Structure 1
Amino acid sequence: MLGDSYLYLISISKSNENNGVHTGDGSVDINGKPVLKQKTGNWKACSFILGNECCERLAYYGIATNLVTYLTGKLHEGNVSAAKNVNIWAGTCYFTPLIGATLADAYWGRYWTIFVFSTIYFIGMCTLTLSASIPVLKPSECIGASLCPPATPAQYGIFFFGLYLIALGTGGIKPCVSSFGADQFDDTDPMERAKKGSFFNWFYFSINIGSLISSSLMVYVQDKAGWGLGFGIPALFMGVAITTFFSGTPLYRFQRPAGSPVTRMCQVMVASFRKRNLKVPQDSSLLYETQEKHSAIDGTWRPAHGNELKYLSSSFSLHELLSSVLN
């Protein structure tokens, strides 16, 4: 209750400051200028993001769903080896989001991180399509039931090069797309803040639609029409995803990189340990990095002080935190 009331008061004060012309959360346009609230963000921007996510998921699951079958049937791997390779690749896809999230938060911002890793993603999709289409890049067909020539090291190398480019690409954009969609709603505006929950509902709906189409139609195409077409269609949809996303650039709201939360969390833990014997002041306002109502990070608010993480209180002062880390 108190947190909601505080946020509401902040939203009123910020709305008064910019007279409702600009957003109150510090968002800017592609050129770094304050955005016009009525002409950017909201659903008109999110429609491009949702279309991008649907196409990207269709492309991803178009590769992942039937990958074991391709490794065993076309690259002539054994079942154990194929399952191992797919599991390693899938694990890589879930590890690489750490790279994308760190780059987006600390250096590039979400938009440019999506741009870079989407390009890598598309190159990987095209490489995979070529490896399944050009005869010299794939093993010969089996002769009879038992004589199956194995793939050469070069054929393996090209295929897995494209596959792991996809893992890097999907991991790079995975933590950014949903957050970038959330950026299109101004948290200081109660009406826009309420719409953010609906956005996430539609976001996961888009994921499921892409997955459904891939798990049914794309698997059928790969089995009946060939793997070149079966990989080529997901590559085409990845191209559509990129085009859709960048078509909405004039409508987007951007948040400037504010530093990685992983770095700040580690700084807090180190400072907390170094300052563990300090006495916490009675005045909780002395525990914040700034005396203003807002956080030092543009577009965010100071968290209310409580006793749940009281053992970290001695590290909340940014000056003391940095001094503890550097000294």
Structure 2
Amino acid sequence: MPAACSHERSLQSIAEYIFVSAISSLAPPERIVIATRESRLALWQAEHVRDRLRRLYPACRVELLGMTTRGDQILDRPLAKVGGKGLFIKELETALLDGSADIAVHSMKDVPMQMEAEFELLAIGEREAPFDAFVSGKYASLAGMPPGAVVGTSSLRREAQIHANFPHLAVTSLRGNLDTRLRKLDAGEYDAIILAAAGLKRLGLGGRIRALLPAEESLPAAGQGAIGIEALAGRADLAAWLTPLDHAPTAACVRAERAVSRALAGSCEVPLGAYAEMRNDGLWLRGFVASPDGSRFARAELHGSADAPEALGERLAAELRAQGAAGILAALG
């Protein structure tokens, strides 16, 4: 292990020890049940949270409740046509409501921007690579693909950017979990596919990535690469025990990105990207709204305080509207 990584892990362990000691007057949880989808990536994320909790609270029984969501079941139509990202979390939220689970673990990019009042996000974990990944057995990059080559993606955001930057390529819908998408690529149904780099890396499939797409070429989705932990609103006990799992720099970036999308009524039906980076002078936030065919684009970027990420996101959304997003959204209407 590199010395820097070892040092960071030691500091993290010390911080967790100090936190647990500071709240020792709060009775430790006896049992925490985590609701999760049953895809391989979702289970990796839930197991990651489970293992963190077990390390923090050795006496606590942390269990997984695997579930199949409607989003997992509907594979023959684009998400934008059947209800959007909320299809991946509804059953998990039902488990929270009926007491079958205490928390639910999600990919933050799958969490709707407008959450129901009964629920809240208690922690956002440290982000893995937020960028899109180019995966192909034939070509090394989007730029190197010949006219008419087929690129598969499930995202209107990615599709719009491919159309704008590489109009000679054909873009077709790609659904299914990560393993299913890779199988379709390997079977020759597509010449290349675009996936979130974070999922590939977390499952040990980073070797499948031919190229990471820079933000200038493919701006990520709000929250991409981050894991969120949801619970019923008002669970102060869970909020306290989950505090060590919240990564403040990632949370600030994700909150800013989600504010952009929320202010613009972002959904699977709107090609929209938002990406924030933490720098020494605060947050640098970029965003875009586009027509699905990539013919119309509104882009903007702003710097602001990491202490008020939602305000920065709302300011960027207003700037995007001024740059033409209002007309694009009206046309999508």
TM-score normalised over the length of structure 2: 0.23
Q: Give the helix-richer structure, 1 or 2.
A: 1
Larger RCO (CA under 8 A, 6+ residues apart): 1
TM-score normalised over the length of structure 1: 0.23
